[in-house]
A and B are shown apart, each in its own frame.
Chain A
Amino acid sequence: MTTVQQRTPRPLLVPAVIGALILIAPLVGLLQRAPWSTLIERLTTDAVLDAMRVSLIVSIGAAGACLVFGLPLAWVMARSSGRGIAALRILVLLPMVLPPVVGGTALLFALGRRGLFGEYLDRWFGITLPFTTAGAVVAATFVALPFFVTTVESALRDAGTDLEEAAATLGAGPWATFVHVTLPATRSAIGAGLALSWARALGEFGATITFAGSLGGRTRTLPVETFLALETDPESAVAISVLLLAISIAVLVLLRGRWLQR
C-alpha cells in the first residue's frame, strides 16, 4: 500500500522555492569562491592550526560545561512548574536571540575584572576570565547552553514521569532514578543536545571576541581567525569558512541520521 502524495498547492510553490534558495544560495556562493587548489595549504598554516586547536579546546569545553550545568538545569525546568520557572525558561532562551556581542559585553560586566562578580573572582581567588582560554569557554557556553537545555528539557518533558514513578515503586530514590532511568531514557536527546551545543560553540564569534579577546594560541578561535583574515587575506577566510561549513553539515547529518530519526 502506498499513500498518494498530496499535490502542492500552486500558490505555495514559488515562495517555497524562493525560501529554499535564500538558504542555499549563500552556501553555493561560498563553495564556488573557495580556493580549492590551495585549500589544504591555507588550512595548515601555523595561524590556522593554532586557531583549530583553540577552537577544539573551547568548543569541547563548552559542550562539557553544557552537560555538567545544562543537564541539571533542564531537569529542574522540566520537572518544576510555576511562574519562576516560566520566567527562567524565557531567560534561558535569551542568548539564542541576543546579539552575541551584547552577550559578550554583558559577560564583561558580570565576570570581567571590574565586573559585578568578576571583581570578587579576581580579589578572592585570583581568577581573571577575560583574555583567557577559560574565558572563551565561558563565552561559548553562554551562547551554546540554550541549545542544550531546550533540547534536553523537551525530551525530559516528553518522557514524562511515568518511568520515574515506576522506579520509585521499585525502591529507587531520586538520584538512583535519575542515573538509572531518566538518563538512559533521554540519552539520545542528550547526545543531540551535545552535538548542537558543540556546533554552536564552534561557530561562536561575537561573545568570544568581546569577552575573551583574540590572541593566537589562547583565545583566537577559527571564527575569530576568519574575521581577521577577511581584512587582509579573504581567500584564507573563505577556506576556513568552508571547513566550518563542512563540520556543521556533518553534525547536522549525524543528528538527522542517528538521533532525530524515529
Chain B
Amino acid sequence: MTLDLTGRVARGDLTLDIDLHLSAGLTAITGANGSGKTTLLRVIAGFERLDAGELTIDGEVIDTSGAGPISAAHERPVTMMFQDHRLFDHLSAVDNVAFAARRRRTPRAEARQTAMSHLEAVGMASLADARPRALSLGQRQRVALARTLAAPTRVALLDEPFAAIDESGRAAVRALLPAVDATYVLWVTHDPADATVATQHVSVDRGVVRQTLTR
C-alpha cells in the first residue's frame, strides 16, 4: 500500500517535478520558503490539479492529467491542516473539531464527545466553548490540529502545524503525531527535531520534489 504522486504542476513562476512513492507512516517535508511545499500538499488535497502525471492512493486513481476521473477535494480520503489554521469563526472550538463527524451525520452529542477527547489531547479541553476569535494564535493552532485529528481519513496533510506553538508546547504536540489516525501523515516543517519522529523525508528544492531518506 503506497501513496504515489508523480508528474508536474506549474503555477505561475513555480514548477514542481514530483516523484513520490510513500509508504504508510510519518513523512516530514522540508524546503526553503516559497519552494512549493504548500503547493505540493494542495495537489494531494485536491485544490490544485496536476498538469501531468498521476496521484494514486492505495492503488486508487485520485487525480490524473489524462482523461481519467478526478475526485473532488471533499471526496478524497485526505484531510489538511492549514498554516493559517482556518477555524470557523461561527463555531466554538469543540464544534470546529466536531465538524467532520457532523458532516458524516454523527449525532451531535456523540460528535462533541469525540471532539472533546481530541481537544484534551492537544491541551485545549478547558477552552472547548471558546470562539476561535477569543483564542491566541497558538491556541487556535492546537484546535486546528485537533480538528484534523478528528477527521477520519487515510491521508493527513499538516502545513507547519507547530509554527505558532511555543517551544515547550511543541514537544508535547509533536508527541501526538504518531497518534494521528491516518495511514499517511505528511507534514511540512522547518524544525530539525521533527526529523526524529519521521520515517520518511521529502525535500522540495528548486522545483524538484523527491524522497531523500526512508528509514
Question: Among A162, A172, A184, A185, which residue has its beta carbon within 8 angstroms of that of B103?
Answer: A172
- Is the CB–CB distance between A162 and B99 below 8 Å? no
- Is the CB–CB distance between B99 and A184 below 8 Å? no
Q: Which of B12-20, B78-86, B170-178 contacts its partner?
A: B78-86
Report the contact-size class of chain A (Cβ under 8 Å from the partner).
10 to 19
- Is the CB–CB distance between A169 and B73 below 8 Å? yes
- Size of the B side of the interface (Cβ < 8 Å), in residues, is 26
Complex CA–CA separation, A173 to B75 (angstroms): 8
A-chain residues with CB within 8 Å of residue B74 when the two chains form the complex: 167-169, 171-174, 177
B145 within 8 A of A: no
Given A168-B73, A171-B100, verify A185-B90 contact (CB < 8 Å): yes
A165 within 8 A of B: yes
Given A163-B88, A185-B88, A185-B90, verify A168-B72 contact (CB < 8 Å): yes
- Is the CB–CB distance between B100 and A170 below 8 Å? yes
Question: Among B46, B47, B89, B147, which residue has its beta carbon within 8 angstroms of that of A170?
Answer: B147
- Is the CB–CB distance between B88 and A181 below 8 Å? yes
A-chain residues with CB within 8 Å of residue B215 when the two chains form the complex: none
Question: Among B79, B80, B88, B151, which residue has its beta carbon within 8 angstroms of that of A184?
Answer: B88
Given A165-B47, A165-B73, verify A171-B86 contact (CB < 8 Å): no
CB-nearest residue of chain A to B79: A169
- Is the CB–CB distance between B80 and A169 below 8 Å? yes
Most A Cβ at <10 Å: residue of B46, B79, B103: B103
Interface residues of B (CB under 8 A from A): 45-47, 72-75, 78-80, 82, 84, 86-91, 99-100, 102-104, 147, 151, 157
